[in-house]
């Protein structure tokens, strides 16, 4: 895919949704961090239901740490893998209090040192909370990048690096949200909704298959 096509793809995505947002509910970088940790192998809707119960009671590192693993588990037990997630969140809160003055760090290295925080989670926080040009590649973004031809790659890291290189600079900060929403609602896994896609004429998927 050439640069002109990529530019037009992101121009249209921007035109349709000038101010894209994560579908996770949060009001502070800390709330976002915890929500993203909880969202692994879970839906944003499910996480939002749990944090809607949790955050009015505890939404700081000190307050959540005070709940303990068992106390926190009561709020998040509707989410998959809640036991291990509760342990990670409690330990992350302890480290934030002891090492970071209860503030969410703004570097990838410091974020990835927290339990339950991998590269993808760190990138979400850096991009969404702190508006850094980071690219969190989830299953939706991996699929869209490969299927459309925007940034094909065999690994998540390869796709991430290509997106950072190929996405036009003016659109880089919001590209994560546009791609994830496109993958969630239009370019779906089992059957992409090509007929209602804004970038169908620019996409390289239709040239590779005769199923449509």
74 lies in the same domain as 90? yes
Number of domains in the chain: 2
Confirm whether 138 is a catalytic residue: yes
DSSP 124-141: HIIIIIT--S-----HHH
Q: Is residue 212 part of a domain?
A: no
**83 located within any domain:** yes
Whether 10 and 99 map to the same domain: the answer is no
Same domain, 103 and 161: no
In a domain, 180, yes or no: yes
Is residue 44 within 8 Å of 24, Cβ to Cβ? yes
In a domain, 112, yes or no: yes
What tokens were used for 181? 């929403």
Chain CA centroid to CA 170, Å: 20
Q: Does any domain span residue 114?
A: yes
Angle formed by the axes of helices 172-185 and 3-16, nearest 10°: 70
The yes-or-no answer on residue 211 being catalytic is: no
138 CA to centre of own chain:
7
The domain boundary residue, chosen from 102, 129, 156: 129
Catalytic residue among 16, 85, 120, 201: 120
Question: Quick one: 168 and 153 in the same domain?
Answer: yes
Do 36 and 94 belong to one domain?
yes
What CATH number is attached to the domain comprising 91? Answer: 1.10.340.30
Question: For residue 161, with 0-12 CB atoms within 10 Å meaning exposed, 13-18 middle and 19 or more buried, which class applies?
Answer: middle
Q: Which domain holds residue 184?
A: 3-20+134-207
Residue 97 shares a structural domain with residue 33: yes
90 domain-assigned: yes
Question: What is the tens place of the pLDDT at every residue in 110-131?
Answer: 999 999 999 999 999 999 999 9
Q: How confident is the model at residue 88 (pLDDT cuts 50, 70, 90)?
A: very high
User: 93-128 in b/e burial notation, b at 16+ Cβ within 10 A?
Assistant: bbbbeeebeeebbeebebbeebbbbebbbbbbbbbb
Q: Which of 5, 87, 138, 212 is catalytic?
A: 138
pLDDT, tens digit, 9 for 90 and up, residues 44-61: 999 999 999 999 999 999
124 and 48 together in one domain = yes
One domain for residues 175 and 149: yes
Q: What one-character-per-residue DSSP string does 43-110 give?
A: -HHHHHHHHHHHTTT--SHHHHHHHHHHHHHHHHTTSTTHHHHHHHHHHHHHHHHHHHTTPPPSSHHH
Mean pLDDT of 181-199: 93
**Domain endpoint, select from 80, 100, 129:** 129
Distance in Å from the first CA to the final CA of the chain: 21
Per-residue pLDDT band at 207 (split at 50, 70, 90) = low
CA distance 14 to 20: 8
Residue 163 lies in a domain: yes
Decide if 174 is inside a domain.
yes
Q: What are phi and psi of 188, to 5 degrees?
A: -75, 160
pLDDT per position as a tens digit, 137-185: 999 999 999 999 999 999 999 999 999 999 999 999 999 999 999 999 9
**Domain of 146: which CATH number?**
1.10.1670.10
Domain match, 116 and 139 both: no
Q: Which domain-ending residue is among 72, 104, 129?
A: 129
Sign of CA dihedral 23, 25, 27, 31: negative
Question: pTM for the complete prediction?
Answer: 0.87
Do 150 and 110 lie in one domain? The reply is: no
């Amino acid at each position: 895919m050439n640069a002109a096509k990529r530019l037009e793809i992101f121009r249209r995505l921007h035109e349709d949704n000038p101010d894209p947002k994560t579908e996770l509910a949060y009001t502070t970088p800390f709330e976002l961090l915890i929500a993203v940790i909880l969202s692994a192998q879970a839906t944003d809707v499910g996480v939002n239901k749990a944090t809607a119960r949790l955050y009015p009671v505890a939404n700081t590192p000190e307050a959540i740490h005070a709940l303990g693993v068992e106390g926190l588990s009561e709020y998040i037990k509707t989410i998959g893998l809640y036991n291990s997630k509760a342990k990670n969140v409690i330990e992350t809160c302890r480290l934030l209090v002891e090492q970071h003055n209860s503030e969410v760090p703004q570097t990838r290295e410091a974020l990835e040192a927290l339990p339950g925080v991998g590269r993808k989670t760190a990138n979400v926080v850096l991009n969404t909370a702190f508006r850094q040009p980071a690219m969190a590649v989830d299953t939706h973004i991996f699929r869209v990048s490969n299927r459309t031809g925007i940034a094909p790659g065999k690994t998540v890291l390869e796709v991430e690096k290509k997106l950072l290189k190929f996405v036009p600079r003016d659109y880089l900060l919001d590209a994560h949200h546009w791609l994830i929403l496109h993958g969630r609602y239009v370019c779906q896994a089992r059957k992409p909704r090509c007929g209602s896609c804004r970038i169908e004429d620019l996409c390289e998927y239709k040239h590779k298959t005769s199923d449509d």
